[in-house]
Structure 1
Amino acid sequence: MSALSDYAERLLLNVLLREQPVWVALYVSDPTDAGGGLEAGGADPDYARVPVTFSEPLDGVCSNVDAVSFPVASAPWGTVTHLGVMDAAAGGNLLVHGPLPAPKAVEGSDQLVVGPGSLTFRLA
């Protein structure tokens, strides 16, 4: 057997992304399933993970309800290539991750914003 039921998909997405606080992190390299990679921000003290709220899963899919607005960079963060959803505002564990559609260089005074519905996770 290799397919999850609709119920199991909803259950897993709810447990991972909705039943606990979660934050989005930016990465300048692939964090991989092991949770490595280099988190963006470098020496910028203004970089911080951003809390995110996900929609109720529908057909094995859920996405961010509101825009995810990172702080304005006061120093370069590097070229962001990946996003990760974490279970803590600092440290913690990587829950899910994926590449950006296109890498984004974040310079001082830039602000990276992920629009509502743009951060989508699918188990279907």
Structure 2
Amino acid sequence: MPASTYLGNALINHILRGVAFATPARVYVSLHIGDPGLTGANEVGAVAWPAYARIDPALGAAIASGFDAAAAKVTANAKQMLWLAMDGPAPINVTHWAIWDADVGGNCLIGGPLKFPKTLEPTDECVIHIGELDVGVDAVA
């Protein structure tokens, strides 16, 4: 999966130009009804799911506890993430995820398709079990 434009530019500037990249104090996982692309588009909205909010994958603990150590340019979530019950007026189809540097607004860092896309009916909960959110870095051709 490609890094967002924001993260790609930050990494290039950090590694090739010596411009410091401030590591986020926390990261947050968002759910999307379409491909977030390079900017975090298609995030679930308050109209479709009023109780929706991004989730801290570390669940308030040290940021490093949210994902396993990277190996072969890939990591996975180390904790289960459970969103509040979907309380919108109609079903929504959640197909993608993204990681942000803020719980609201902020910069999209990276995103991709869910292993198990799901249509959420009103009152359904959305859960990403341990190891189900794979985050990797694409090789450049």
TM-score, normalization: structure 1? 0.75
Corresponding residue of 2:134: 120
- SS in structure 1 opposite 2:56? strand
14, 31, 35: which one pairs with 2:36? 31
Which amino acid letter does the alignment assign opposite residue 31 of structure 2? L
Runs (4+) off by over 6 Å: none
Of all paired residues, the percent bearing the same amino acid is 32
CA-atom RMSD in angstroms: 2.4
Once the two structures are superposed, residues 2-58 of structure 1 have per-residue CA deviations (whole angstroms, 9 ceiling, x without a partner) of: xxxxxxxxxx9xxx9x8631111001111101x142211442321111111111222
2:55 is equivalent to residue 55 of structure 1: no
Cα separation, partners in 2 of 1:41 and 1:56, compared to 1, 3 Å: same
Once the two structures are superposed, the pairs formed by residues 75-90 of structure 1 within 5 Å of their partners are 75=88, 76=90, 78-90=92-104
Query: Across the two proteins, how many residue pairs are aligned to each other?
Result: 108
Corresponding residue of 1:69: 82
- SS in structure 2 opposite 1:66? coil
Cα separation, partners in 2 of 1:110 and 1:68, compared to 1, 3 Å: same
Q: Flag structure 1 segments of 5+ consecutive residues without an equivalent.
A: 1-11
- TM-superposed CA distance for 1:101, in Å, is 3.1
Query: For the residues of structure 2 that align with 1:37 and 1:77, how far apart are their CA atoms?
Result: 19
Cα separation, partners in 2 of 1:83 and 1:77, compared to 1, 3 Å: farther
